[in-house]
Amino acid sequence: AQRVTQPEKLLSVFKGAPVELKCNYSYSGSPELFWYVQYSRQRLQLLLRHISRESIKGFTADLNKGETSFHLKKPFAQEEDSAMYYCALGQGGSEKLVFGKGTKLTVNP
Amino acid sequence: SQTIHQWPATLVQPVGSPLSLECTVEGTSNPNLYWYRQAAGRGLQLLFYSVGIGQISSEVPQNLSASRPQDRQFILSSKKLLLSDSGFYLCAWGRGITEAFFGQGTRLTVV
């Protein structure tokens, strides 16, 4: 079965500190992984996708198939990074897209 | 450009009453459509998704149903609401699974 696990409900760091939001998945096929973000009073939106290998707003995420992980990282957190972050797993073909339970990141001044 | 409309924004309904939440997409054709329920501590739970008119995949057995009568219209329904149906419902569309675009959501309170 397709499953996404985000073990941390809450994560709090200070401005300038590194941040890592964990995501693990279980899927028997070839996974497509995403990170979505929801800022306060805004719509949920795509942050980045593994296939693009891009850095968005200083965030990166590497797909580790051996560990079935897709952790989101940023070397120096900013206050404006405070938001709810969701890891998502897509299943091409069936077009199913499932999300983890989310991690609320708070960056303190 | 593409836009997604979801209404109403808030809804208070008595137990046992019917439900109809509507979601429409503009500016694209043959999108994937999704209904999610967002709850604190439970994240985004996929309820239904659709890859075409009349094609509905249900993920969670429940008191709800979904329909897609037109290419860019996705409806979430219930014949008789339960207290446990209260929550925040999100509609989304996507071209494949490459990126999903979310509506503003509907806050449903069943009383």
What confidence tens digit (pLDDT) does each residue in A68-84 have? 999 999 999 999 999 99
pLDDT grade, residue A17 (50/70/90)? Answer: very high
The answer to whether the CB atoms of A36 and B90 lie below 8 A apart is no
Q: Does B53 touch chain A (CB under 8 A)?
A: no
Q: Is the pLDDT of residue A30 over 90?
A: no
Q: Which residues of A touch B46 (CB under 8 A)?
A: 96-99
Q: Is the pLDDT of residue A92 over 90?
A: no
What H or E segment, with its residue span, contains residue A49? strand A45-49
pLDDT grade, residue A54 (50/70/90)? Answer: confident
User: What percent of chain A has pLDDT above 90?
Assistant: 75
Burial class (CB in 10 A: 0-12, 13-18, 19+), B12: exposed
The answer to whether the CB atoms of B41 and A101 lie below 8 A apart is yes
The Cα of A100 is separated from the nearest Cα of chain B by a number of Å equal to: 6
Q: Tens place of pLDDT for every residue, chain B, 111 residues?
A: 889 999 999 999 999 999 999 999 999 999 999 999 987 777 899 999 999 999 999 988 678 999 999 999 999 999 999 999 999 999 999 988 888 999 999 999 999
Shortest CB distance from B46 goes to which of A45, A49, A98?
A: A98
The answer to whether the CB atoms of B97 and A101 lie below 8 A apart is no
Q: Does A31 touch chain B (CB under 8 A)?
A: no
**Could you tell me the two tokens for A31?**
């996974």
The answer to whether the CB atoms of B46 and A99 lie below 8 A apart is yes
pLDDT the model gives residue B98: 81
Nearest CA in chain B to A93: B96
pLDDT the model gives residue A29: 82
Q: Does B42 touch chain A (CB under 8 A)?
A: yes
Q: Does A95 touch chain B (CB under 8 A)?
A: yes
pLDDT grade, residue A91 (50/70/90)? Answer: confident
pLDDT the model gives residue B77: 96
What is the three-state SS of chain B? CCEEEEECCEEEECCCCCEEEEEEEECCCCCEEEEEEEECCCEEEEEEEEEECCEEEECCCCCCEEEEEECCEEEEEECCCCHHHCEEEEEEEECCCCCEEECCCEEEEEC
Q: Does B34 touch chain A (CB under 8 A)?
A: yes
pLDDT the model gives residue A79: 97
**Residue with the larger pLDDT of the pair B54 and A91:** B54
Measured distance CA(A62)–CA(A69) in Å, rounded: 8
pLDDT the model gives residue B99: 87
Q: Is the pLDDT of residue A28 over 90?
A: no
Shortest CB distance from A44 goes to which of B42, B45, B102?
A: B102
Q: Does B87 touch chain A (CB under 8 A)?
A: no
Shortest CB distance from A44 goes to which of B32, B59, B90?
A: B90
Do residues B23 and B103 lie in contact, with contact meaning Cβ atoms separated by under 8 Å? yes
